[in-house]
Structure 1
Amino acid sequence: MSALDPGLIGTLYRAACLAELEALKPGNVHAYAAGHRMVVADFVTSADVSAPELARAGAGIGERVRAGVAATLAAVGQNTNLGILLLCAPLAAAAEQGRSVAAVLVALEAADSEAVFAAIRLANPGGLGRAERHDVTSDAPPSLRAAMAEAAGRDRIARAYDTGFSDIAAIGLPALAEARAAGLDPTWCTTAIHLAYLRSVPDSHIARKAGPSVAEAVRREVDTMLANLNLADRPVDTLLALDASLKARALNPGTSADFTVATVFWDALTAAGAALA
């Protein structure tokens, strides 16, 4: 497997973050519309300051996440990218080491668990709630993967650590390939990725804030809408109407957006020579 230069990894990560912001992602923050008391500039700054930490040579996965969150909070004063960092840190480490994502997940250490738990406490994401075991307010467990496996049923990002990022392979990358085959430009390909996650699985961020039944209702709503929608027609008005509706209901599919960044990042790393699968 080819090992990539950390500088290139940081460049590709930042580009993936910016590509996600440029795409129309209903319910989330994007270049077409702000929302949820956040604006695109916050996320651009977050990408700028977290990229060096995410791609720091030789850093552990947990430290990449913790340092990225700390840099982001110092720059923008709020959590804009915890989910992105949790998903992208293993990809960055795998690309730098010339290993698969599965291999770096197996090699997670207690230090990674401590750093990730510290990052989550720093970011203080909304709707996190309390857990009977491995609660983030308690000491970090020795095994980060065990903690993620326990949370996998209620959090899609935790599930990624338990399944070797199967959602990217099963949902994100096929959606990207289909969009490219249809001749969509890169920005609309990114929109296609976001919509694929939205229609395929209930969004964890919506579920945490509004409940699982609401998340499933949004998934069905998007799936029904997409049955009659052709992204090749650039349906900006239709998607902006959905965007406004979700924001009016205070529903932010942030997990779908995080997976969109990770999918674009995975694709870019692969194109550069990494063998992540």
Structure 2
Amino acid sequence: MRPPAQNAELALLLEVAGTPKPGNVDRRRDLEELRFEHFLAGAVGARDGLEMAADGASVGAAFERAVGGMAAQGGDNTQFGALLLLVPLVRAARNELSQPVVESVVEGTTVADAAAFYRAFEHVDVFVSDPPAEMEPLDVRRGSDAVPVLEERGLTLFDVLDRSVPGDDVAREWSHGFERSFLAAQRLADASGTPSERTASVFLSLLADRPDTLVVKRHGEVTAREVTDRAAELHERDALETDPDSVKAFADELVGRGVNPGTTADVTAAGLFIALERECLEI
């Protein structure tokens, strides 16, 4: 059995290799400023931080190291959200990779973990919405400048992410027991085909479940709902099997429009890690 950090790195690699994943980088599609190779390099660069989590380091410190290593590869923000899910999952895997254990890991984070999370934003350019006026002192784009406010208010990393729900489905995983990540893992186990085919299928199913919050932030709720409805229609008629060209056309269309369901990709990566750890996805 592979060690958890290796499975986490492999999950990042399998996620980007899944094809087609509408709107996202995959083996056949690049975005304007992000290429497939950037994601491969980002996964490799994040390895030290994932190893830290596997060795028992705090979630914040491991996440900051993973993001710094990812960013140093030249692709800037390739897997920020995925790492925010994978680091606590890897940490939980030291004991038992279950929802109660990962809930305990995230609920046990500290103010120091929150400070490390804020410093991680100094490594990369992450798209975030403007906060309401009363939350400006805690705008993550302030990076380490916001740390005194975190310390003054005694906010842990769990507190910070819990305040981002609704509106951010990566944060929602933290406050809802990683329910979609574990659901994705079960769907991967139940799916058929190669790992790449299973990844594409599960990505489409997750996109069909609910609007992608990154799409909401960048393009608005109407566009996000349109994307989800289209994904649901394709998923319901099993288009990846019966009409793969229609899914490929949808993927190309979203890339052409600059609509990137990146949060769905993050949850897919987390599901891949859980499936690999449970040995229900063979490579």
- Specify the SS of the correspondent of 2:278: helix
Residue equivalent to 2:227:
218
Q: C-alpha distance in 2, partners of 1:29/1:160?
A: 23
Change (3 A) 1:127 1:104: closer
AA at the equivalent of 2:14:
A
1:11 correspondence with 2:6? yes
Residue 56 of structure 2 is matched in structure 1 by 58
Quote how far apart the aligned CAs of 1:22 are. Answer: 1.6
**Aligned residue number for residue 85 of structure 1:** 83
Q: What is the aligned-residue identity percentage?
A: 26
Shift in Å, 1:224? 1.6
Q: Partner letter of residue 111 of structure 2?
A: A
1:228 Cα deviation from its structure 2 partner: 2.1
Counterpart in 2 of 1:44?
40
Partner of 1:178: 190
Correspondences of 1:219-234 after superposition (within 5 Å): 219-233=228-242
State the shift of 1:230 in Å: 4.1
In 2, the alpha carbon distance for the partners of 1:55 and 1:261 equals 17
Partners of 2:94 and 2:7 lie apart in 1 by 12
1:71 is paired with a residue of what secondary structure? helix
Deviation at 1:77, TM superposition (A): 4.6
Task: Please say which of residues 97-106 and 109-118 is displaced more in the overlay.
Answer: 97-106
| SS across alignment from 2:104 | helix
Among residues 204, 212, 218, which one is paired with 1:209 in the alignment? 218
Separation of aligned partners in 1, 2:121 and 2:205: 27
Q: Which residue of 1 aligns with 2:30?
A: 34
Equivalent position SS for 2:123:
helix
Alignment check: 8 A CA contact 2:240 2:247 kept: no
Measured in 1, the distance between the counterparts of 2:226 and 2:244 equals: 22
**1:243 matched to 2:251:** yes
Match of 1:275 in 2: none
Q: Which moved more, 1:258-267 or 1:210-219?
A: 210-219
Per the alignment, in what secondary structure is the counterpart of residue 237 of structure 2?
coil
Distance 1:40 1:214 in 2: 25
The 1:156–1:218 alpha-carbon spacing in structure 2 relative to 1, beyond 3 Å, is same
8 Å contact from structure 1 (residues 28, 252) kept in 2 = yes
1:147 partner amino acid: V
SS at match of 1:32: coil
Q: Measure how far apart 1:31 and its partner are.
A: 0.3
Is contact 1:105–1:164 with CA below 8 Å preserved after alignment? no
Provide the residue aligned with 1:94 in structure 2: 92
Query: Are 2:167 and 1:154 aligned?
Result: yes
TM-score (norm. length: structure 1): 0.88
Gaps of 5+ in 1: 273-277
Task: Kindly report the root-mean-square deviation, in angstroms, between the aligned alpha carbons of the 2 structures.
Answer: 2.0
Deviation at residue 97 of structure 1 after TM alignment = 4.0
* Structure 1 Cα separation of the partners of residues 172 and 32 of structure 2: 25
Contact kept, 8 Å, 2:165 with 2:171, in 1: the verdict is yes
CA distance in 1, matches of 2:43, 2:276: 16
The alignment of Structure 1 onto Structure 2 pairs a total of residues equal to: 262
Shift of 1:13: 1.2
